[in-house]
Amino acid sequence: MWDSIKKFASEFFVTGDPLIYGADVSIGLTMIAVVAALTYFKKWNWLWTEWLTTVDHKKIGIMYIIASILMLFRGGVDALLMRTQLAVPNMDFLSPEHYNAIFTTHGVIMILFMAMPFMFGLFNLVVPLQIGARDVAFPFLNSLSFWLFFMGAMLFNISFVIGGSPDAGWLSYPPLSEKMFSSGVGQDFYIWGIQISGIGSLMTGINFIVTILKMRAPGMKLMKMPMFSWSVLSSCITIILAFPILTITLALLFIDRYLGAHFFTLDGGGNPMMYINLIWMWGHPEVYIIVLPAFGVFSEIVATFSRKRLFGYKSMVFALMSISAFSFFTWAHHFFTMGSGADVNAFFALTTMAIAIPTGVKVFNWLFTMFRGKISFETPMLWAIAFIPCFVVGGMTGVLLSVAPADFQFHNSYFLIAHFHQVIIGGVVFGFFAGLYYWWPKVFGFTLNEKIGKWAFWFWNAGFYICFMPQYVLGLMGMTRRVNTYGWDTGWWELNFVSTIGAFLMGIGFLFQIWQILHSIKFMQKAPADPWNGRTLEWSIPSPAPMYNFATIPHVEERDAWWEEKQRRAQGEAPKPLPPLEPIHMPKNSGIPIIKSAFWFAAGFGLVFNWLWLAIPGFIGIALSMLAHSFNYDTDYYIPVDEIERTEAAAKGDAR
C-alpha cells in the first residue's frame, strides 16, 4: 500500500526540479500565513460577508485587480526565468521541458489571466459610475463571472505543481497538443482552466452590453457617453462574438483527447489547420478585446490632463466600433506561411493594413487634444504619453508583418516577439496602469505617492525599450521563437544579454509599484472627490463611492457632464435643485456564485485526471446551485432614506 501511495504521489505532484520545490514551499507558507492571519484577527466572517459573497460591482472590480496583479507577478517571474535562460549561450538554467512549460504558461497567464481580469476590473470600477448607474444590469451574474474566472485561473495555475504544466505553446497547436505528443494532464489543465474562465468572460461581455445600453442616466444618449464606456461597449461586442469560438475549439480538442476523436489529427482524417484557423478567429479579436478599453482609458486621461474636450469624439467612436468589426477579418495573417494561396494572403494583408487606419485616427485625436492644452504631467498622463510612441512603433511593425512576402522573413522570428510585446505591453499594460493610477483615488479614497510612481514609470519604460528593441534586430539576424538555447557562433548573445537586463529593469519597476501601494496605505492621504479636476460623472460623487454610487440619479444634458456643471458653477449659476431622496433598491449578497464556481473547479479537476467520481458530483453541484438560485426570491432590499442621509453627510464632512 505504501508503494502505491508513493507511486501515486510521484505522478500526481511535480517532482525533480528545485524551482518547483521552491514554489511548493512558498505556496504552502503563503497559505499558512493567510489562514493564520484571518484566524488571529477573526476575519473569516468579514471575508465571507464583505468579499466572497459580495455582488457590489466596486468590490468585484477590486478583486479582479488584485487577481490580475498576482497573475502579473506569476507571468513576470516566468518571463524573467526565460530571459535568464537566454541571457548567454548554452545556458543550463532551465531544462528544455521546463522552458517549454514556462513559455506556454507565460503567454496564457499574461493574456487570459492578467490582461483580461485587469480589463474587467476597470469595467466594474468605472462604467456604472460613468453612466450614472447604481450597479450593473445583472449583479449576481457579475459575481459569478468573477468567481468562474478565478476558479479557472486557479485550475490552470496549480498545474505547475500538480500534474505538470501544459507545454504545447500558449495557443496549443495540434498535433503537439494531442494525446500522442502531450500524453500528460497539463494540456487538460489548459483546456479546462481556460474553458471555465472563458464562460465568466462571456458573461461579463453580456452584462456590460446590457448595462451600457439600458442603464445610462436620463439624458445620456449614446453620443453623449464617455469614451471609456464606448470602448467597453466595443470590447464587449467583440467578446460575445469571439469567445464562443474559443469555447467550441477547446471543446473539440478535449473530445480529441478524451474520447479519441480526430477533429485535428491528420492520421484520423482530421485537419490541424482547422484548429489554427479557429483559434486565431478568436485570438486576433482577443488582441483588440484587451486593447480597445486601453484606448478608452487614454481618451479619458488625455482630455482630463490637457484640460480640453476630446478632439474628434465622433471619429473616435467610429474608430472603436470599426476596429471591433475589422478584427474578425484579419486572423489569417498569423499564418501567411502556411500555404493558403496568394488570393487569401492578399485579402488578409489588405484587411490588416485597413485596420491600422482607425488606429491611426485615434493617435492623431489624442495628439490634437493635447495641442495647445494646459497639460499637467501627473502619473496617469505620463503613462498615456509614453504609450503613443510605443504603440506607433508597434503599429508600424505590425504593418510590416501584414505584407505577406515580408512576413515570410519575419514569421516565427524574434521580430514578431518584439512586435507583439510592443503592442501588448505598450498598449494594454501601459493603458491599464494609466487607468489604475487615474481611478485609484475614486476607488480607494486615498492617493498614491507620485514620487514612487514616477520611479516605477521610468524603470518600466527604460526596461521595456532595453528589453524589446534588441529583439527586433535578433529576429532579423535569424533568431527564431521557442528556442531555449543557442550557440556562441550565432552572434546573438550580446543582444540577448541586453534584453535580459531590460526584463529585470521592468521587474524592478513592478516592485516600485508594490512599494508605492504599500507606502500609500501606510501614510494614507485622503483623496478629494475630484482630485484630477475630471470631466465625467464618477468625479461628482465622494471618494470612495458609496455602495449605492449616486444618492440621486443625475440628469445628463451634454458630453463631459461633470465638467460642464463645474463651468456653470464657476460662472455663478446655482446648482440645479436635486429631487428628494428616496429609498434605494439594491441587490443582496449571495454565496451561490462562489459555491457554484467551486463545483466547476471540482468538475474541471476531475475531468483533467479522468476522475469521474469527482467530475460527476461537480456537475451535479453546478445543477443544484442553478436550481437553488432559481428558487431564491430573497434577492434584494432597500436602503432607507435616513441611512442615505447619514452616508452623504459623512462624505461631505470628510470632504471638508
Convert 329-386 into a string of H (helix), E (strand) and C (coil). Answer: HCHHHHHHHHCCCHHHHHHHHHHHHHHHHHHHHHHHHHHHHHCCCCCCCCHHHHHHHH
CA pair distance 654, 526, nearest whole angstrom: 8
* 521 in Cβ contact with 185 (< 8 Å): no
pLDDT at 27: 87
Asked if residue 331 lies in contact with residue 280, where contact means CB atoms within 8 angstroms, the answer is yes
> pLDDT band at residue 653, thresholds of 50, 70 and 90?
low
Residue 291: closest CA among 192, 431, 135: 431
Q: What is the pLDDT of residue 166?
A: 95
pLDDT band at 532 (very low <50, low <70, confident <90, very high): very high
| Helix H or strand E encompassing 191 | helix 186-214
pLDDT digits (tens, 9 = 90+) for 546-599: 999 999 999 998 999 999 999 998 888 888 888 899 999 999 999 999 999 999
DSSP for residue 586: E
**Phi and psi, residue 337, nearest 5°:** -80, 5
Q: Report which of 221, 431, 201 is spatially closest to residue 313, judged by C-alpha positions.
A: 221
pLDDT band at 654 (very low <50, low <70, confident <90, very high): low
- 559 contacts 309 by C-beta, under 8 angstroms: yes
pLDDT at 261 over 90: yes
Q: Is the confidence at residue 127, as pLDDT, over 90?
A: yes
pLDDT at 13 over 90: no
Question: Which of the pair, 385 or 655, is modelled with greater confidence?
Answer: 385
Specify the pLDDT at position 23. 84
Q: What CA–CA distance (Å, rounded) separates 373 from 533? A: 14
Per-residue confidence band for 122, with pLDDT thresholds at 50, 70 and 90: very high
Residue 133 CA to residue 129 CA, distance in Å, equals 6
Provide, rounded to the nearest whole percent, the portion of the chain with pLDDT above 70. 99
pTM over 0.95: yes
Cα–Cα distance, 644 to 336 (Å, whole number): 60
Cell numbers placing 220 = 445620456
The confidence score (pLDDT) of residue 4 equals 75
pLDDT in tens, 430-487: 999 999 999 999 999 999 999 999 999 999 999 999 999 999 999 999 999 989 999 9
Q: What is the pLDDT of residue 21?
A: 85
Closest CA to 229 of 245, 208, 205: 208
Mean pLDDT of 329-345: 89
Q: How confident is the model at residue 186 (pLDDT cuts 50, 70, 90)?
A: very high
Average pLDDT on 348-357 reads 91
pLDDT value of position 223: 95
3/427: higher pLDDT: 427
Q: What share of the chain is helix, strand, coil (3-state, %, to 5)?
A: 70, 0, 25
C-alpha cell of residue 302: 488625455
Say if residue 7's pLDDT is above 80: no
- Bridge partner residues of 585 (DSSP): 638
In the chain, what percentage of residues exceed pLDDT 90? 84
Mean pLDDT score across all residues of the chain: 93
Res 220: pLDDT: 95
Residue type, 180: M
Q: Examine the pLDDT at 655 and tell me if it is beyond 70.
A: no
